[in-house]
Amino acid sequence: VCCFTDRKGKTPRRPGQRKQCNIEKDPVGVYCRIRPLGTEDEECCIEMISSSTIQLHAPDGLKANRNGEYKETQYSFKKVFGVNTTQIELFEDVGKLLIEDLIQCKNGLLFTYGVTGSGKTYTMTGSPGEGGLLPRSLDMLFNSIGPFQTKRFVFKPDDKNGMEIQSQVDALLERQKRDSQQSVSKIPSSRQKADPEIADMISSDDACKVENVDEDSCYSVFVSYIEIYNNYIYDLLEDAPFDPIRPKPPQSKILREDQNHNMYVAGCTEIEVKSTEEAFEVFWKGQKKRRIANTQLNRESSRSHSVFTLKLVQAPLDADGDHILQDKNQVNVSQLCLVDLAGSERTNRTRAEGSRLREAGNINQSLMTLRTCMEVLRENQMCGTNKMVPYRDSKVTHLFKNYFDGEGKVRMVVCVNPKADDYEETIQVMRFAEMTQEVEVPRPVDRPICGVAAGRRHRNQAFRDELSRQLEERGGPFNAGNAVRDPAQLNHLIESLPAIPPCELVDPADDQMLPRLIEVLQRRHHTRQMIIEEFNKTVNSMLQQFDSQLSSKGNFLHDQQSKLSEKDKVIVSQKTEIERLEKKSKTLEYKIDILQKTTDMYEQDKRTLQHELETRDHRLHRELSDRRRIEQHMQGMVTDTRLKWEKECERRVNAKQLEMQNKLWVKDEKLKQLKAIVTESSPAQRPERPTRERDGNIGNVFKTRGGGQAVQFTDIETLRQECPTAPSRKRRSGSAERPAQLEETENTVSY
């Protein structure tokens, strides 16, 4: 493992990109595609005005505005695709540029958006014979880089959103290990028979490719497929072992940030693919695990957001054009995310209940978060504000935040259904699309140019072709240093041979022509012998050289075998360690599962207690406010009661004083009369009591605390009445009867 740490490839993020000033920006490319009506008698509410504008008409029966008229609205896009648009025409305008950017080490994000049943999945995936954006993107990519792909396992994911470069020996061991496994592995093998569900997605006439591919680089493609369901991330390509006794639900994945601040799904399966068929087979394998359901609006409604990621790894060749350049700074990783968003829907139309209702709520919440992020981005760019974009409120926006921060181009295909029933939902989709077009994304930076001369692969291939041709012609190995075996030198030697003179032999006893011919043939024979001797010398030297090379190769092979045996021992020990770690990992996963369930229980209890605490706090606050109100009311009542009783006490005290004065006056009168009777003196004149006529004032007037006035009486009137039939009363002492005058005094009434 330690030999891989210094060969880690770069992630799509370029460090320091955000610190640049005056970065050029491009608006988000928004396209619109209109789905054909189901039947001809359905009412249509969308009209295509031009190649970039559509107009919406309010359907019959919809409430009119205040003036009693229906309002027609128009919306403009980068391009509008009508009902007769083919899949290849859509791909030419939307997906082709993204594949070209992918090969040029630039990222891309393409997602479909719209209400349920508007044709998003058909636009992204397509049908047999009418492949969508995803299969056509795969086909164009592999048509472009097919001859320049590396062998399997040369690049390997490091589980940290990066790539490791393996040596040729390690890659060969990985391939041999894969070939030795008879069971189905994570990497699918080539199909002998095409799956009828994915066969003939793209015809040969629609095939296209990128022309300006860098031939001096090696390429490798990795794919991953995830879904975001109820705001949880699940890996659709994960081969989890099925336990029939204790089946486990799929484990959700988490989002993490790598060293270059890029968001990625931790623990996501990345599969290396080498052809369009193999890649689409992987996609279809995950597509069968995706959650769909039957609703009132769509027979196969997507209940989750799916994200299919194409990751292209590029590394330049060395100066000889034979092997990959072992330089981590020259390895580039670019990716294209193809997102099929779930459709927004209204529960009163779908009549969703139970789990379907919860799914619809989570879908609408994530789409609302996406819309909120677009609104904040547009406000920050247009008004110069610096508001925080709520990417973390949803897994969809959190995963793709880097694209809106300048990590690649963003394209959106808005799918609409022109039927009248979807008019209100279509209005909301159009408003979101119109707002998204005003958001600008920083333009990605071009990759650095490799410092090695171009044309290395072509020169290396030409050298190999020439070498193989010469080996086939000469029937043996080729030595560039041997002058005899060089074609130019051979031609020169053949031309230096003495030419045979033209002659006609008429008589076999010709003594003139035959000696000349014999002399020429002898010279040619001598030259041929010299060439044969030189050739034998050269062959012997080459054989000796090959013997020495063979011995050195044997020694090298022996060393390599010893190293291989050592590596086998290391592999055995590592396998043992891996088995131990796998057991430990399973134990930890089981513990994590238990802890996760315990955490969920505690979280549920926490939410319940938090809700109960908030309810009690609200109730306590209400009781405190009621108590303060009652206290204020009671204080007012106490104050009023205190004033009332103070007035009553003062009135009673004054009345009591007046009563006591009257009693005192009566007693004085009685004492005077008793004194007169006892002394038997002449009756004295009773002092006349002042009357009202003489005094003119019978009491004193004073002010009360309440602001009024009260009268205190100071005069007493005495009334006398004789009752002849009334029996005489005895004295309390019981000694003697009172005199008649005293009885009359007692019958006096005072008031």
Binding-site annotation: residue ranges: 114-121
Token digits for 738? 């009172």
CA distances from 155 to 163, 202, 234, 266, 567 (A): 6, 29, 25, 18, 21
Count of all residues that appear for the chain in the document: 751
- Residues 24/272, Cβ–Cβ less than 8 Å: no
CA distances from 201 to 29, 205, 222, 311, 336 (A): 26, 12, 21, 22, 20
Residue 717 per-residue DSSP state: -
- Residues 749/718, Cβ–Cβ less than 8 Å: yes
- Residues 521/548, Cβ–Cβ less than 8 Å: no
CA distances from 681 to 233, 671, 684, 741 (A): 128, 14, 8, 15
| Concatenated DSSP letters of 596-654 | HHHHHHHHHHHHHHHHHHHHHHHHHHHHHHHHHHHHHHHHHHHHHHHHHHHHHHHHHHH
- Residues 30/437, Cβ–Cβ less than 8 Å: yes
Write the Ramachandran bin of 161: left for phi over 0, alpha for psi from -120 to 50, otherwise beta. Answer: left
- Residues 358/230, Cβ–Cβ less than 8 Å: yes
Classify each residue of 253-264 as buried b or exposed e, where b means 16 or more C-beta atoms within 10 Å of its C-beta.
Answer: beeeeeebebbb
The whole-angstrom distance between residue 493's C-alpha and the CA centroid of its chain comes to: 76
CA distances from 390 to 258, 363, 366, 543 (A): 20, 17, 11, 75
The whole-angstrom distance between residue 355's C-alpha and the CA centroid of its chain comes to: 21
- Residues 334/12, Cβ–Cβ less than 8 Å: yes
- The annotation places the binding site for ATP at 114-121
**E strands, 287-372, where?**
292-293, 301-302, 305-316, 332-340
d(CA 445, CA 504) in angstroms, rounded, equals 82
Strands 126-127, 130-131: pairing is antiparallel
d(CA 542, CA 587) in angstroms, rounded, equals 63
Closest CA to 369 of 399, 409, 347, 339: 399
d(CA 457, CA 218) in angstroms, rounded, equals 10
Q: Hey, what amino acid is at 207?
A: A
Token digits for 215? 């031939």
CA distances from 561 to 172, 357, 548 (A): 15, 64, 19
**Using CA of residue 512, residue 518, residue 524, residue 530, what is the dihedral sign?**
negative
Closest CA to 398 of 266, 286, 257: 257
d(CA 172, CA 167) in angstroms, rounded, equals 9
